[in-house]
Amino acid sequence: MTDNKHEAVSAHEAVYFIFGATGDLARRKLFPALYSLYREGKLGERFAIVGLARRPRTNEQFRDDVKASIEEFCRYKPKESEGWNAFVEHFTYQSLDTGNVEAFKQLKSHTEQLEAAYDIPGNRLFYLALAPELFGSVSRNLREGGMLESAGWHRLVIEKPFGYDYPSAERLNEEIRHVFREDEVFRIDHYLGKEMVQNIEVIRLSNAFFEPLWNNNHIANVQITLAETVGVEERGAYYNKSGALRDMVQNHMLQMLTMIAMEPPSRLDPEDIRDEKVKVLRSVRVMETAETISENIVRGQYSEGVSKGKELKGYRQEDSVDPASGTETFFAARLFVDNFRWAGVPFYVRTGKRLPVKSTEIVIEFKNVPNNVLFARKQDLQPNLLVIRVNPMEGIYIKFNAKKPGNDMTVQPVSMEFCQSCQVGLNTPEAYERLIFDAARGDHTYFTRWDELAVAWKLIDPIAAAWRQDPEGLQFYPAGSWGPEKSDALLDREGYFWWPVNGQEEDNVVWVTASK
């Protein structure tokens, strides 16, 4: 049944509870992830999956939903010859009112039956694909309903947004911690489950030609771009309260920054790694005054525009969005990590909706060789770049200078590329597969610890507060463009510019093409 038998390390035998089982996340990500894990032998056979949501559904209807979701979103297709029927039998459904403790008591007896049937030793993983307002009451009712009384482990997996600001995140954390210990809580940031984000550590720490240069003596600046072509789609109501700052920066962008900037941990132990990440966040310069914030941060909102010949609505015209909304759909900033390794190196980060391409990339721009010696005396040399392509193209790209063939000593930039996504037959696991597997194994490395979150919010809150006082600071950009011009000015004043990302056309030349 397993396609990759050599990889088949089984997660612990457990019952997986999917709260919010009729929702979008379950359909698009969680069911497909569970099936992929099963196909690769990582779930074994001693497991059960219980779908929970308010709406009534029979087991058969639920299994049909699961099949439809896997057909549409999974990298493996449901095949009887690959044990589909055996897999889907592990799924049952219970309609559950999360506020009613009696329903949890019924869930307990259902769970005990499943544990007896599959010989599962009481391990229970609760995945809350729910609105965060419900995290506290669900945790409480799990305890009151006796769901935490089994012999095995109990783990809580929760999705962002984890709070709206530091005080609300702290309250939420307290509610959860009344029931679960920190080591039982797995806070998901799906960017940490991405192959190339996990690869950052390996690229840095296993190559003699990167780590020695990984500091302010050699690196001129770091650029992190997370560009999306989508707008807010059907998520207007959620997004309008969150904006790019809370939806992307507080979590995904800061997590990528920490992976780039952290010190090598003393051991590859989850807590040692997370300790190093917290240290980076503590070193990020807090921007507090309105002047510093407006000097270093740009916020924008898309207005009507055209992309690839298609007319696009402005953000304020999107469904469930206030027509006078001041929510930002674009964020760019110049950040500093004030420690010995990074002092003086700007970290430019930007993210936005309705940009021209979907691309997440990290560019490390190295300092130039001295200007007035040898080849640099005769011509302007381009800086060396290391580009980590995170999404959707995965790979690594290095740009350096070499001689142009011919009699003149002309120097030209050339590139070497490792295109991971181009490898034939490669079927890279999705972020959610890795993260569910890690949670089931009890590995916290790629989950955010409370102290990380707390520091991240403390960086974000003063920015949000300054913006509230300055509604005029919101800049508009046409959908399908690269955001407000002020975002280029952030780099321009230091003589830098945003390096084009994969797929971006510059002067009618595709700068970096995806090799196939």
302, 353 in Cβ contact below 8 A? yes
* Residue 285 annotated as lining a ligand binding site: no
190 carries a ligand binding annotation? yes
For the bound state, the minimum distance from the C-beta of residue 223 to ligand BG6, rounded and expressed in Å, comes to 17
3-class SS of residue 265: coil
- 292: buried, middle or exposed (CB in 10 Å: 19+, 13-18, 0-12)? middle
Q: Minimum Å distance from CB 160 to ligand BG6?
A: 6
Binding mask 186-225 for ligand BG6 (x = CB under 6 A): ----------------------------------------
Q: Cα(313)–Cα(304) distance, rounded to whole angstroms?
A: 5
Residue 257 in marked binding region = no
Q: Which of residues 390-419 bind ligand BG6 (CB under 6 A)?
A: 391
In terms of CB distance, is 160 or 444 closer to ligand BG6?
160
24 is in an annotated binding site: yes
β-strand partners of 400 = 414
* The dihedral sign for the CA sequence 180, 182, 184, 188: positive
Residues assigned a catalytic role? 252
- Distance, in Å, from the CA atom of 21 to the CA atom of 55, rounded to the nearest integer, reads 10
CB of 216 to ligand BG6, least distance (A): 29
Q: Which is nearer to ligand BG6, 120 or 232 (CB)?
A: 232
Q: Is 228 annotated in some ligand binding site?
A: yes
Query: Which residue in this structure is represented by tokens 């949501």?
Result: 53
If you ran DSSP here, which 8-state letter would residue 284 be given?
Answer: B
Question: Is 228 one of the binding residues for ligand BG6 (CB under 6 A)?
Answer: yes
DSSP string of 13-53, one letter each residue: PEEEEEETTTSHHIIIIIHHHHHHHHHTTSS-SSEEEEEEE
Query: Which x/- pattern over 143-182 shows residues binding ligand BG6 (rule: CB under 6 A)?
Result: ----------------------------------------
Which of 301, 360 has the CB closer to ligand BG6? 360
Nearest to 101 by CA among 129, 135, 138, 151: 138
**Closest to 67 in 3D by CA, of 54, 55, 52, 51:** 51
Is 33 among the annotated ligand-binding positions? no
Q: Which is nearer to ligand BG6, 102 or 234 (CB)?
A: 234
Q: Minimum distance from CB of 20 to ligand BG6 (Å)?
A: 15
State in angstroms the smallest separation of the CB of 264 from ligand BG6: 27
Return phi, psi of residue 276, to 5°.
-65, -35
- In the chain, the amino acid numbered 373 is V
Q: Which helix (H) or strand (E) holds 172?
A: helix 166-177
Give the dihedral sign, CA 254/227/418/491: negative
Q: How far apart are CA 417 and CA 436, in angstroms?
A: 31
Site track for ligand BG6 across 353-372, x = CB under 6 A: -------x------------
182 marked among binding-site residues: no
The residue nearest ligand BG6 at its CB is 247
Q: Which is nearer to ligand BG6, 13 or 452 (CB)?
A: 452
- Residues 358, 345: Cα–Cα separation, whole Å: 26
The residue count for binding ligand BG6 (CB under 6 A) is 4
Rounded Cα–Cα distance for residues 136 and 139 (Å)? 5
Closest CA to 91 of 70, 121, 122: 70
Shorter beta-carbon distance to ligand BG6: residue 40 or 189: 189
Query: Does the annotation flag 21 for ligand binding?
Result: yes
Annotated binding-site residue numbers for NADP(+): 20-27, 54, 160
Annotated binding-site residue numbers: 20-27, 54, 160, 190, 194, 228, 247, 353, 358
Query: Binding residues for ligand BG6, per CB under 6 A?
Result: 228, 247, 360, 391
Annotated binding-site residue numbers for substrate: 190, 194, 228, 247, 353, 358
